[in-house]
Amino acid sequence: MEKPERQKTGKEGEDFACAFLRKKGWKIIERNFRQAYGELDIVAKSLDKTLIFVEVKTTSQFRPDGVRPEDQMTRAKISKFKKIAEGYVNRYPKLVSEKMGFRLDVLALTRVGNDFIVNHYENI
């Protein structure tokens, strides 16, 4: 059975996001970490050893209504994202550098042909 288009676009966006972050020198620690109350798309370490949780929002094209992928990050979604990240940190505290801590980022991707336009929001 073929995946619905939305799931396919989401997976392609996450695959692209991992490649994008690796090109920046980041190490991908985990993908699609699931907890009872939600999922983390990407858990990574940046060059300076900061633990970073990345939420990936992908659209398959520019929308005529002007809604961008990052517009999907409502206050409620950000709050849930933070809760899931804190749960991860509590579960794996050794991954967090005392000096650098952790942060929450959003990668907003819009597909254009075979590529993506990337908007990277740090420390949301």
pTM confidence score: 0.90
Query: Would you say 15 and 64 are in contact if contact means Cβ atoms under 8 Å apart?
Result: no
Domains defined for the chain, CATH in brackets: 5-121 (3.40.1350.10)
Q: Give the C-alpha separation, 71 to 123, whole Å.
A: 16
Q: Looking at the DSSP assignment, which residues form a beta bridge with residue 45? A: 27, 51
Could you give the CA distance from residue 95 to residue 86 in angstroms, rounded to a whole number? 12
Q: What is the reported pLDDT for 82?
A: 95
Could you read off the pLDDT tens digit of each residue along the chain, which spans 124 residues? 446 777 777 888 999 999 999 999 999 999 999 988 899 999 999 999 999 999 999 988 777 777 888 988 999 999 999 999 999 999 999 999 888 889 999 999 998 888 899 999 999 9
